[in-house]
């Protein structure tokens, strides 16, 4: 594989709400860059990037797929991410390793709920973004309303670089405000050919007005443009392009382009914008890590000659073997290299390096800084961990994972399924950090927990398809939390002989409720000398472990401040074991006295229904204990925003279909825990 110049790489992701057209945009990018020779359509189940059978059947993206294509001497490493909230971890871990993103918005729906979620995720990782307003050929499309929603809902600073030529059925092309030209596509060539021509007379004045607004917006964030604007000098296209690039990379503006991916219009200018405005790995600040032993900060410059620093951002099982996706921030790797995982303090061997194209892969000999590649041979390393050189250890910041909110009981159908089930679940757990499996001590059933009904449905489907393992599935269970309503204290003494040694400890613990969403914490509120300091860690461990299962129904206890207020110590009999057990007993006793109660997971739901069915849907939500927060009228339908307990939302997709003659849709994501 030829060495790439770091400046000629773009690592980008496509992010959006479900059904905004992300995969359709990606398929056009692959077609026009020559990576694929046929346009794969999502609705036909033939999209290259949606390669899993479940994705093809449902017409949605489930797993983020990586590919590489080339445009004007630039290598674009592209990740197409899911839009459904159940698979939001796929977006999170992709954005963690990307340098830029394209936010795709539906011109009819505007900024939808999951668009806000993925935009916030991109903001969290300081990822520069371009917005592409898609589906301008659809009835009800409104380009300017979508841009206004970006300002109000996303708190972004969108700058319009293109205007649509016509809207809805008459949409034909775009006006480029930087060059002051219009681009019209030829329908007979699948969008491959287009003409650049002078703007039609009836649109010229509007185009000039919007170009003036573009210059004014850039003048606020670019000194060079400001000077030229105040001096009333002509501002050339090259100067505007440079200003847009700088302002995009520094997160001051979001360039807005438009088109219709399904009708093959607007993709080539989008590719030009990716190359011109989004950063290469050399244009963003170098990632920082720390030394595993000393904690000293270490900078990872994006050059091949620097020591290796790479992050595993995704693991998948390819034909039964572990395939790890890594982003190389600095240094270079070769097939057969030994690498070091400082998190596990283990050496690993890279048996193969693969360039990915969805589920297809090409073997390559080496890869350098800025590359996103697949590697085989890593046995112990998993998602979020760092690979480096043994003589230059570095730890990159670990990734955050979401806690599951819904559970299913599963049991194998046959004896052969029983033998395979543990191995299959182990593979899914390695792939998906938001999945949890535990065994119910009362029933012996395995409890599978995930991010939503669809998430668990896909896992069960994949068990059968990919691993030929069938399971019986119990009714979904809600993963509740427990907390307390009043302050309580308790004292416990552990005084026993274990393995010939006397163990003694006395611990006094006080529990106090905290505001909702605060989490739990442990503090010391004890005078010096009562308990030796070497036992504080054991006491904290005992308290925090006992909070992991509450006294009501065994769910984790949250929003509690536990303080160590007293105790006693017998010389030569005080041990870590005694203090840990004593602290745990005191904490359990205090929990039962503190008025424990259950917290329900509350979901933020947005429902889109035709106006004539609004009353029925609101009545149904009220019957489920929901609270209506807002009703927004849109063209032809209403958007209802509500919060509803998760326990009352099982099977809601069927209920809304029957209540709206199949025309209503909804999205749901976890909001917070609250009292039932």
pLDDT value for 186: 81
Q: Give the Cα separation of 449 and 476 in Å (integer).
A: 9
Position 47 pLDDT exceeds 50: no
Nearest 10 degrees: Cα torsion 279, 281, 283, 284: 100
Q: Which of 119-128, 256-265, 442-451, 525-534 shows the highest mean pLDDT?
A: 256-265
Write out pLDDT tens, residues 448-458: 888 777 778 88
Position 564 pLDDT exceeds 60: yes
Write out pLDDT tens, residues 87-99: 667 777 778 888 9
Position 558 pLDDT exceeds 70: yes
- Per mean pLDDT, which range of 137-141, 172-176, 458-462, 580-584 is the poorest? 458-462
**pTM (whole model) above 0.75:** no
Write out pLDDT tens, residues 330-354: 999 998 889 999 988 889 888 888 8
Residue 350 and residue 335 in contact, taking contact as beta carbons nearer than 8 Å: yes
Structure tokens at 400: 């955050």
Mean pLDDT over 476-491 rounds to: 86
Write out pLDDT tens, residues 149-193: 999 888 899 999 999 998 888 888 999 999 999 999 887 777 778
Mean pLDDT over 563-592 rounds to: 90
Q: Give the Cα separation of 218 and 228 in Å (integer).
A: 11
Position 555 pLDDT exceeds 90: no
Residue 347 and residue 272 in contact, taking contact as beta carbons nearer than 8 Å: no
pLDDT value for 358: 66
pLDDT value for 670: 78
Top-confidence residue, 133 or 425: 133
Buried b / exposed e over 406-416, threshold 16 CB at 10 Å, is bbbbbebeeee
Q: Give the Cα separation of 89 and 384 in Å (integer).
A: 12
Non-local CB neighbours of 623 within 8 Å, separated by 6+ positions: none
Mean pLDDT over 368-390 rounds to: 87
Number of H helices, E strands in the chain: 15, 38
Give 50's pLDDT tier (boundaries 50, 70, 90).
Answer: very low
């Amino acid at each position: 594989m030829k060495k790439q110049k770091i400046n000629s790489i773009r690592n980008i992701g496509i992010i959006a709400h479900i059904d905004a057209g992300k995969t359709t945009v990606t398929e056009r990018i692959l077609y026009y860059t020559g990576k694929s020779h046929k346009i794969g359509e999502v609705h036909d189940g033939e999209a290259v990037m949606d390669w899993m059978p479940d994705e093809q059947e449902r017409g949605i993206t489930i797993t983020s797929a990586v590919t590489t294509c080339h445009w004007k001497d630039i290598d674009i490493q592209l990740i197409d991410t899911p839009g459904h909230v159940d698979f939001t971890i796929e977006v999170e871990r992709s954005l963690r390793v990307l340098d830029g993103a394209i936010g795709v918005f539906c011109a009819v729906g505007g900024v939808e709920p999951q668009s806000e979620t993925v935009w916030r995720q991109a903001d969290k990782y300081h990822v520069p973004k371009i917005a592409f307003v898609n589906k301008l050929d659809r009835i009800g499309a409104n380009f300017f309303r979508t841009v206004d929603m970006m300002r109000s809902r996303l708190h972004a600073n969108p700058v319009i670089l293109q205007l649509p030529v016509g809207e809805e059925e008459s949409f034909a092309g775009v006006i480029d405000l930087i060059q002051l030209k219009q681009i019209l596509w030829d329908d007979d060539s699948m969008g491959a050919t287009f003409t650049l021509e002078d703007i039609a007379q009836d649109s010229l004045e509007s185009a000039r007005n919007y170009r003036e607004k573009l210059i004014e917006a850039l003048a606020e964030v670019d000194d060079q443009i400001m000077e030229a604007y105040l001096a009333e000098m002509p501002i050339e296209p090259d100067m505007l392009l440079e200003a847009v690039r700088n302002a995009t990379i520094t997160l001051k503006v979001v360039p807005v382009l438009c088109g219709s991916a399904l009708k093959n219009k607007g993709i080539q200018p989008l590719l030009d914008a990716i190359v011109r405005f989004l950063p290469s790995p050399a244009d963003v600040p170098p990632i920082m890590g720390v030394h595993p032993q000393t904690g000293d900060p270490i900078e990872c410059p994006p050059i091949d000659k620097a020591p290796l620093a790479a992050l595993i951002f995704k693991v998948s099982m390819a034909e039964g073997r572990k395939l790890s996706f890594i982003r190389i921030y600095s240094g270079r790797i070769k097939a057969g290299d030994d690498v070091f995982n400082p998190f596990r303090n283990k050496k690993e061997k890279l048996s193969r390096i693969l360039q990915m194209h969805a589920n297809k892969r090409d073997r390559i000999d080496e890869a350098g800084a800025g590359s996103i590649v697949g590697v085989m041979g890593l046995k112990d390393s998993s998602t979020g961990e760092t690979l480096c050189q043994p003589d230059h250890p570095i730890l990159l910041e670990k990734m955050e994972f979401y806690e599951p909110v819904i559970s299913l009981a599963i049991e194998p159908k046959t004896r052969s399924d029983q033998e395979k089930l543990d191995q299959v679940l182990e593979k899914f757990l390695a792939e998906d950090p938001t999945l949890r499996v535990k065994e119910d001590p009362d029933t012996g059933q395995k409890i599978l927990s995930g991010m939503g009904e669809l998430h668990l449905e896909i896992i069960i489907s994949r068990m059968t398809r990919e691993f030929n393992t069938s399971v019986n599935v119990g009714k979904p269970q809600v993963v509740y939390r427990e907390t307390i309503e009043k302050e309580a204290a308790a004292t416990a003494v552990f005084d026993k002989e274990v393995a010939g040694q006397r163990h003694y400890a006395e611990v006094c613990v006080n529990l106090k409720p905290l505001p909702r969403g605060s989490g739990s914490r442990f503090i010391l509120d004890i005078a010096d000398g009562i308990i030796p300091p070497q036992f504080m860690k054991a006491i904290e461990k005992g308290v925090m472990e006992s909070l992991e299962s509450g006294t009501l129904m065994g769910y984790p206890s949250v929003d509690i401040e536990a303080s160590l207020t007293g105790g006693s110590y017998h010389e030569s009999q005080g041990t870590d074991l005694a203090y840990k057990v004593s602290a745990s007993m005191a904490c359990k006793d205090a929990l039962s006295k503190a008025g424990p109660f259950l917290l329900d997971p509350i979901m933020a739901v947005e429902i889109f229904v035709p106006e004539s069915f609004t009353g029925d849907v609101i009545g149904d939500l009220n019957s489920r204990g929901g609270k209506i927060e807002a009703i927004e009228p849109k063209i032809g339908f209403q958007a209802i925003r509500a919060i509803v307990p998760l326990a009352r939302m099982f099977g809601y997709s069927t209920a809304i279909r029957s209540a709206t003659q199949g025309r209503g849709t909804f999205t749901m994501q976890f909001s917070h825990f609250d009292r039932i």
